[in-house]
Copies of this chain bind each other. A is one copy, B any other.
Amino acid sequence: MIQTLTIQTHSRTEMINMDTTVMKAVRQAGVKEGLCVLWVPHTTAALTINENADPDVVRDILSKTGKVIPFENGYRHAEGNSAAHIKSSLFSPSLTAVITGGRLLLGTWQSVFFCEFDGPRTRKMMVKVVEG
């Protein structure tokens, strides 16, 4: 079973905590032990795991990667969003997590984040749960 979630982003770059949504999808899949593969079908967005406690961590991640890979940089791609494509590849559009006891195995400070690198847009995220 594959569940498709819709995400509305509101800024050009943004990281959105997906824990509640992903955990609900895992519960609905009804699998106690297995894997959870998360996927975004976009090339200017990504998924990552990082800290949920201090929102300054997310701000620093977006700010620093925006300085290393700036939007304006003499790129050839005419759409003007090459920086978002590059960040999508570096962060990765896919994430494989472990399910145990019917829940995602996350560390205390870990959350799943949807990374918008060229918003605002309406985005999708797929959740595939495999028993095993």
Tally of this chain's copies: 3
Contact A128 B35 (CB under 8 A): yes
Task: Kindly identify, within residues 76 to 101 of chain A, every residue whose CB is under 8 Å from any CB belonging to chain B.
Answer: 76-79, 82-83, 85-86, 88-98, 100
Contact A106 B41 (CB under 8 A): yes
Q: DSSP majority for the A interface?
A: mixed
Of all chain B residues, the one with the shortest Cβ separation from A59 is B76
Of all chain B residues, the one with the shortest Cβ separation from A77 is B56
Total A residues in contact with B, Cβ cutoff 8 Å: 58
A-B contact pairs, 14 of them (CB 8 A): A35-B35, A35-B128, A41-B106, A43-B57, A51-B85, A54-B79, A56-B75, A56-B82, A57-B77, A63-B76, A64-B82, A90-B91, A98-B128, A100-B128
